[in-house]
Structure 1
Amino acid sequence: MSTLSALLASPPAASAADRIHDDAHALDVARALAVEFAPGAIARDQQRSLPTDEVERFSRSGLWAITVPRAFGGAQVSHATLSEVTAIVAEADPSLGQIPQNHYCLVDAVRLVGTPEQQHFFFAEALAGRRFGNAVSETGTASSKTVTTRLSRTPQGLRLNGRKAYSTGALFAHWVPVAALDEQDRQVLVYVGRDAPGLSVLDDWRGFGQRTTASGTVLADHVAVEPLQVLARHRLFEPPTIHGAFAQLLHSAIDLGIARAALADLRRWVRERARPWADAGVDHATQDPLTLHRLGELVIRLHAAEALQARAAEHLDAARDSDASEASARRVTDASIAVAEAKVLTTTLSLDAASVLIELAGTQSTLEQHGLDRHWRNARTHTVHDPLRWKYHAVGNHWLNDAQPQRHASL
């Protein structure tokens, strides 16, 4: 039996998924799901209750397959649509917005460096509703880029060994792509079946925000691997591709969703519950001039962030099918810088909106029962994923010195 046939004979279990037809359909489904997900978000956060049913509903909707190329039966939606789908779901529950972020990136890795056989198999898996998790990061190493997990050739075949952290989505996944080094010290991605012997996924994530992303630990102990499961991760950025900017656009969309959620609560509290400061000389918080000034500033920044997010998505569309040409490399650079600019605004806005919410809503807003603290905790936790200081550096260095941004998943 061939490798492909063996894997197809016993694929990871998944419920049948709906098929998204186009961009408009994707947005409609995302909005409907957000209405379903939002009411339970506070309770899930407070109780650290994993959204198992919600993730299943989310992937069965077909939204997890919207980036599969049309040639393989997918909708291949625009980056603007993917960004907005992510922001819509993140506004309802940012943990649910973040969980498929790695899935989309790992589908993109199949597009960029998968062999025809791998593309045929893994795109079909995505369309069937099967979820890709994440086991890329490691802790306890000298550098964030250090990889100690190894894929080795043994008399019994390929075997995978290592330990991973911050494995968002792995607990819910059917496939857990693991970043490793092969025997030539080249970076690879090994797409391991969630139930493979020797693979363990631990629910040990205890961050104060994004509490229900299940971003725990993955252990690989002599896991058997077939060649079909191994992708050449070292080729993801050669020639220049949008893979890093693609990942960052989704992170930015999550922060945009958090900001929108905080602003929605801010509007409601100022209208319904907040009190004006005595020196304002007005009867209602909605008439307080300094409150209105503060709100106006945030609304303008929201609109600016949305505009830069849309602009960045357009750049990604233009650079999607990159090649080795100089013109293509310039488009990839433009996309990376545009996404960095958007990420600066969504990061700072999500943090500030969450903080101003408590400031203007008043002391009563700090009561745990209201769950308003979750916006800041979620924003602060998610936005440390990539250092903002280096976004400013990349934009400034490119503008002044025409410097090219580094090629990795953080730009």
Structure 2
Amino acid sequence: MTTEEKHHTLLRAARDVADDLAADAIARDQAGRPPIDEKARLREAGLLAALTPPGPGGGTDWRTGCAVIRDIAAADSSVGEMLARHFVHTWSGRFYAGHHRATALEEESLREQWLWTGAVRALAPDEGGHAPDLILRRRNTGYVLHGRRPVETAVTVADQIAVDAVCATTGDILVVRIAPGARGVTVDTAPDRLGQRVAGAGSLILDRVAVAPERLLGRRPHDEESAAPFTTLAEPALRLALCHVGLGIMEGALTEARDLSRRGRGHRRPGEDPDLLLTYGELASAAQTATAVVHRATAAMARALDPGSPLDAEEPATVTSLVGTAETVTAKAALEITARVLELADAPGLDRFWRNARVLTAHHPATRRLRSIGEHYLNASHRAVAAAFH
């Protein structure tokens, strides 16, 4: 099978899963249960194994992986976010570990069809001066892990959870992987969220959790100046994957509202209503603009992640700036589109798109990000653009 044939086969599988998810999306959103069934659907379709870094044994290139995420998110953005975070965290070995360890980990992940999630912070010192929330203490040849950390997806159903923690002895920030069912791990779920209710969000509570040496992925530098260029792509890659979730939310909201309007279930009748046509024109244009901006950032990220392309110190800053712009444009468009479709149609469940967009974008306000992008543009400051994701 050629690369192009594999690409089309994967996208067909994703669309089949998306159709399946769309059929009961409203009921599952209302129930807000842990994504046990959703994980099974992704695994059975081969998407968990497919959305891993590309290699001789399988995996998917960055652009195709993002296209799959977008298709799934259009049907159910909670599952889209879960798959987005899975895809990015399967790259953890490449971001933080050496080549040999990363290859072995990816092969095992593909073979076992693991579902990944995580909560690794951006490259930045603790500006507030607060004590670290996760601490590693040495014990024999490994560590024990203590603390509490919120996780946005799959906190009860993931097979691997990547987190960073401070070593109490050296002060190094180490990235480790743990399993939700490990001894000393408990989970405080968040079933009553405003949106993204099926993503499986919650908090990990870690009480003397043993971390064997093979579960140590590597060191996370304190800031971008001491990080390898490839490592600095970890946080922008995650934010960009979530932009594709945002695109999926827009697509899902517009498609559902359009179908309702065509069937005459909207507040205004379809046909020649100039106000209705104007509104759909404005919303479709906003979605297309966001899509173009995200695709440009996606192409740049794909080049940066390509192991065959040398990565210099300048490129991550450029990629990060493009991702910051994409995140800003996507968040604004998603919130506008999902709010305005409620004016066009009145149907049960249509509000879930706005709720999901609101939760997806709430943690990353645009003001600081825009200032950082502006400083990078005006003064060519790499430190400033990296600060956009702190």
Shorter-chain TM-score range = 0.7 to 0.9
Asked if 2 retains the 8 angstrom alpha-carbon contact of 1:239 and 1:324, the reply is no
Asked if 2 retains the 8 angstrom alpha-carbon contact of 1:255 and 1:346, the reply is yes
CA distance in 1, matches of 2:130, 2:303: 29
Superposed displacement of residue 349, structure 1: 1.5
Corresponding residue for residue 48 of structure 1: 32
1:198 aligned partner, one-letter code: G
Residues 153-168 of structure 1: matches in 2 within 5 Å?
153-155=138-140, 157-168=142-153
1:108 to 76, 91, 98: 91
Superposed displacement of residue 93, structure 1: 0.4
CA distance in 2, matches of 1:324, 1:124: 22
CA distance in 2, matches of 1:23, 1:147: 42
Deviations 1:137-177 (A, max 9, x none): 7xxx9859963211111358421111111342121111222
Confirm or deny that 1:174 pairs with 2:159. Answer: yes
Superposed displacement of residue 373, structure 1: 1.1
Moved more, 388-397 or 38-47: 388-397
1:73 aligned partner, one-letter code: G
- Count how many residue pairs are aligned between Structure 1 and Structure 2: 375
Corresponding residue for residue 393 of structure 1: 371
Superposed displacement of residue 334, structure 1: 1.9
Confirm or deny that 1:273 pairs with 2:265. Answer: yes
Taking a change above 3 Å as real, the CA distance of residues 409 and 21 of structure 1, as seen in their structure-2 partners, is farther
Q: Could you say what secondary structure the match of 2:206 adopts?
A: strand
Taking a change above 3 Å as real, the CA distance of residues 41 and 240 of structure 1, as seen in their structure-2 partners, is same
What percentage of aligned pairs have identical amino acids?
28
Moved more, 231-240 or 389-398: 231-240
1:33 aligned partner, one-letter code: V
1:299 to 284, 290, 305: 284
Superposed displacement of residue 392, structure 1: 2.2
Confirm or deny that 1:90 pairs with 2:73. Answer: yes
Structure 2's unaligned 5+ residue stretches are none
Deviations 1:214-239 (A, max 9, x none): 11111111111111111224149522
CA distance in 2, matches of 1:145, 1:291: 52
What TM-score do you get using the length of structure 1 for normalisation? 0.83
Asked if 1 retains the 8 angstrom alpha-carbon contact of 2:297 and 2:326, the reply is yes
Asked if 2 retains the 8 angstrom alpha-carbon contact of 1:68 and 1:76, the reply is yes
Larger Rg: 1
1:239 to 228, 249, 265: 228
Taking a change above 3 Å as real, the CA distance of residues 324 and 222 of structure 1, as seen in their structure-2 partners, is farther
Deviations 1:335-383 (A, max 9, x none): 112222222222112111111111122xx44xxxx11111111000111
Asked if 2 retains the 8 angstrom alpha-carbon contact of 1:52 and 1:172, the reply is yes
Corresponding residue for residue 208 of structure 2: 222
CA distance in 1, matches of 2:20, 2:68: 14
Q: Could you say what secondary structure the match of 2:93 adopts?
A: helix
Confirm or deny that 1:332 pairs with 2:316. Answer: yes
CA distance in 2, matches of 1:252, 1:352: 15
1:38 to 18, 22, 32: 22
Confirm or deny that 1:119 pairs with 2:105. Answer: no
Asked if 1 retains the 8 angstrom alpha-carbon contact of 2:317 and 2:386, the reply is no
Q: Could you say what secondary structure the match of 2:118 adopts?
A: coil
Asked if 2 retains the 8 angstrom alpha-carbon contact of 1:322 and 1:329, the reply is no
CA distance in 1, matches of 2:272, 2:307: 52
Structure 1's unaligned 5+ residue stretches are 1-19, 277-283
How well do the aligned residues superpose, as a CA RMSD in angstroms?
2.8
Asked if 1 retains the 8 angstrom alpha-carbon contact of 2:161 and 2:177, the reply is yes
CA distance in 1, matches of 2:84, 2:130: 19
Superposed displacement of residue 72, structure 1: 4.9
CA distance in 2, matches of 1:160, 1:382: 29
1:99 to 58, 82, 87: 82
2:43 to 59, 71, 78: 59
Residues 60-79 of structure 1: matches in 2 within 5 Å?
60-77=44-61, 79=62
CA distance in 2, matches of 1:334, 1:351: 26
Superposed displacement of residue 184, structure 1: 1.3
Residues 123-138 of structure 1: matches in 2 within 5 Å?
123-128=106-111, 129-136=113-120
Q: Could you say what secondary structure the match of 1:223 adopts?
A: strand
Superposed displacement of residue 205, structure 1: 4.2
Taking a change above 3 Å as real, the CA distance of residues 234 and 249 of structure 1, as seen in their structure-2 partners, is same
Superposed displacement of residue 76, structure 1: 3.5
Corresponding residue for residue 349 of structure 2: 371
CA distance in 1, matches of 2:5, 2:256: 33
Moved more, 386-395 or 253-262: 386-395
Confirm or deny that 1:261 pairs with 2:215. Answer: no
Deviations 1:262-321 (A, max 9, x none): 111221222221244xxxxxxx34322122112111111111111112111110122225
Superposed displacement of residue 136, structure 1: 4.2
Corresponding residue for residue 199 of structure 1: 185
1:187 aligned partner, one-letter code: I
Asked if 2 retains the 8 angstrom alpha-carbon contact of 1:23 and 1:75, the reply is no
Asked if 1 retains the 8 angstrom alpha-carbon contact of 2:42 and 2:48, the reply is yes
